[in-house]
Amino acid sequence: MKSIDAEISAVEQRIRAHKVALAYAADAARQRAARRLTSPAVLAGAVVLGFLAASLLRKKKTPAPAPDRRKSVRDQGTKKGFALGTLLMTGATWLVRSQFGGPVGLAQFVLDKVRHGRSPATAAPAQIRR
């Protein structure tokens, strides 16, 4: 009967041999696939297939009517509303950053306000028990 160390050594040797064989087979398969995929015939076929798929999927569009060049009052009001909203958001962002250091600081302030019912800046200091 073999000793346990000899058996362990034999198993480890077989595992190493299998790893080497697997790495060799994977490298050979990778090289074969790279040669086949980069051949000019495969590349040309892929290009042709891409053009065919694009031409089949393209929908026939009817020409759209010419747009009316006159601006409607409703469109102008919408544009002014977006411009005003953009300016308000810029101001709100500046205020939040200057007062609280960012959105996280604002969230912490609001949570503390909800939990304690008053601002942490105006809260009375904790009493020390002796």
Distances in Å between the Cα of 102 and the Cα atoms of 61, 62, 93, 99, 110 are 48, 50, 8, 8, 13
Per-residue model confidence (pLDDT) at position 93? 85
- Cα separation of 71 and 84, whole Å? 19
Burial class (CB in 10 A: 0-12, 13-18, 19+), 96: middle
- Does this model's pTM top 0.75? My answer is no
pLDDT level of residue 95 (50, 70, 90 thresholds): confident
pLDDT in tens, 21-69: 999 999 999 998 888 777 777 778 888 888 888 888 776 667 777 766 6
Distances in Å between the Cα of 118 and the Cα atoms of 97, 100, 123 are 21, 16, 7
| Tokens 């790893």, located at residue | 19
Question: Using the 8-state DSSP alphabet, how is residue 102 labeled?
Answer: S
